[in-house]
Amino acid sequence: MAEANISVAQDQFSCPICLDLIKDPVAISCGHTFCMVCISGCWDQEDQKGVYSCPQCRQTFTPRPVVSKNSMLAEVVETLKNTGLQATRPAHCSAGPEDVECDFCTGRKSKAIKSCLVCLASFCETHLQPHYESPAFKKHKLVEASRRLQEQICSQHDKLLEVYCHTDQQCICMLCTMDEHKGHDTVSVAAGRADKQKQLLEMQGNSKQRIQEREKELQELIKAMETHKMSAQTAVQETERIFTELIKSIERRCSELTALIRAQEEAAVSRAEEVMKQLEQEIAELKRRDAEMEELSHTEDPVQFLQSFQSVATPTGSSNLPIITFSSTLTFEDVITSVSQLRENVEECYNAEFVKIPSGVRDVHILSPPPPRITMQMLNMQTQRLHQLHYPEVPSTAFKPYGYGTAKARFSMTRQM
């Protein structure tokens, strides 16, 4: 029975500040009891104001009350300690790394559940009770626990930011409206948030539409690239099949054409992959911004909303990304046709028809027009490199591009029979 009485008494002997069993208990004139260290620490912070208050009921005292240890209460607390029963806060109330800590807890901090814009402090469930119970806190404004309380106070007047200035696009206090913001277009922060919320919704709609458009273009580009690669592969296979039927001198031409197709494929695919990468980066950035705007749209605190709005309102995205335009000549069908015609007329129009083949290869693109840096000189170098890689037995001097810079690139090859 005695144990039951002690168990009930534990909560009555817990310090409202540190939530532990009271150490060196002292009672102040309003009737509340605290640890001597806890109440002294609270009042030390109020020395500059010259007005001291009870942390539990907020009754004020001037001058600072003189406190002394309550010996009788200390003996009762010591008895509780001897029983091995300690008043400890629940483990689930302790603040984690991501939680806002209670400003009034000492020692191990409890998780704050509300912040007061008047007190500029955060409170755990226990220390918040005076705000609900005492008339002195009736006009205090409670918000979700936040580490950014100081940002909601005017740095010039030390007043709560309650007004939004449309003229200067910033949150201000009431005194600011009579000072440097006098005559400006101002509304309450709630009204300002409502206005910006409409803009945010419109921005979100535009962002989602842009994401859909870019995703569609990305899929079309992937499909076009696969078609291009498959067509290039088919052209290579058909070219090799046709040229195996020709004499050895024609086989050298086959090697040249195969290398040229590969070079054009590599250049076109390289360009397409570069644009794909830019598209994927832009889509990722747009989705990230969309997520930020979604999170911002659910922010209840109008000041935090308005202060974070500008960062998502600034447009992003690369201005260098070209408009996606797909080439009308995507496959190597014309190349295959030209090769077949060359086989049929090899003896009569060999030299006349061969010059059409490389030009036909160069006309095949995934994206139109090709970027300026893909020059004929680079294409010739890539062709020679691939030629030597796949056909090392053919001398590199057999491939001789000339006439670079003219309207049509011409090729000549030493004919060896």
144 DSSP β-pair partners: 114
DSSP per residue over 100-117, as a string? PBPTT--SSPBBP-EEET
pLDDT at 77: 77
Measured CA to CA, the distance from residue 95 to residue 12 in angstroms comes to 23
Quickly state the pLDDT bin for 384 (edges 50, 70, 90).
low
User: What percent of the chain is predicted at pLDDT more than 70?
Assistant: 76
pTM exceeds 0.85, yes or no: no
Contact call for residues 327 and 365 (beta carbons, < 8 A): yes
Q: What is the pLDDT of residues 228-246, one digit of tens each?
A: 999 999 999 988 887 778 7
Give yes or no for residue 13 having a pLDDT over 80.
no
Give backbone dihedrals phi and psi of 172, rounded to 5 degrees, phi first: -140, 170
Residue 273: enclosing H or E segment and its boundaries? helix 248-297
The mean pLDDT of 165-176, rounded to a whole number, is 92
pLDDT at 349: 64
Give the strands of the sheet with 170-172, arranged side by side: 170-172, 163-165, 186-188
pLDDT at 369: 62
Specify the amino acid at residue 241. R
pLDDT at 320: 61
User: What percent of the chain is predicted at pLDDT more than 90?
Assistant: 18
Measured CA to CA, the distance from residue 132 to residue 110 in angstroms comes to 19
Contact call for residues 313 and 202 (beta carbons, < 8 A): no
How is residue 30 written in tokens? 């309003």
How is residue 233 written in tokens? 């592969």
Quickly state the pLDDT bin for 171 (edges 50, 70, 90).
very high
Measured CA to CA, the distance from residue 389 to residue 377 in angstroms comes to 18
Give yes or no for residue 409 having a pLDDT over 80.
no
pLDDT at 89: 47
Quickly state the pLDDT bin for 319 (edges 50, 70, 90).
low
Mean pLDDT score across all residues of the chain: 77
Measured CA to CA, the distance from residue 86 to residue 107 in angstroms comes to 15
Specify the amino acid at residue 262. R
Contact call for residues 32 and 16 (beta carbons, < 8 A): yes
